[in-house]
């Protein structure tokens, strides 16, 4: 494709600082009681943010071809399919049938 983009050490340093801040944030958020699903959701949201930073900058996906984006997306998409359809089974185990009560 195009000329390869070289990411500079300054960018890497900024990303590292952002990652460190997010790590402190996730530990701090865990100390606060937000109630049942919210602590988990916050922790996951922060983890996803960190992962996105690493993928975009450390792994250069921000500067990569569309095809790389598709492959990265595919891996993530298939993972979601697996977890969603599997946990759906467990979450609906307790439901009752409208026909049998």
Contact positions vs other proteins (CB under 8 A): 1, 4, 6-9, 12-13, 15-16, 19-20, 23, 26-27, 30, 33, 39-40, 43-44, 46-47, 50-51, 54-55, 57-60, 64, 67-68, 71-72, 74-76, 78-79, 81-83, 85-93, 95, 97
- For residue 58, with 0-12 CB atoms within 10 Å meaning exposed, 13-18 middle and 19 or more buried, which class applies? middle
Q: Cβ–Cβ contacts within 10 Å for residue 30, how many?
A: 14
CB of residue 26 to other proteins, shortest distance in Å: 6
| Cβ atoms of residues 37 and 23 within 8 Å | no
CB of residue 100 to other proteins, shortest distance in Å: 9
């Amino acid at each position: 494709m195009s000329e390869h983009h070289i990411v500079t050490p300054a960018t890497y340093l900024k990303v590292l600082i952002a990652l460190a801040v997010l790590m402190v944030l996730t530990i701090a958020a865990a100390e606060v009681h937000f109630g049942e699903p919210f602590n988990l959701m916050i922790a996951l949201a922060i983890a996803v943010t960190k992962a996105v930073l690493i993928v975009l900058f450390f792994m250069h996906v921000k500067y990569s071809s569309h095809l790389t984006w598709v492959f990265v997306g595919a891996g993530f998409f298939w993972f979601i399919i697996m977890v969603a359809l599997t946990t759906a089974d467990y979450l609906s185990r307790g439901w009752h049938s409208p026909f049998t009560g």
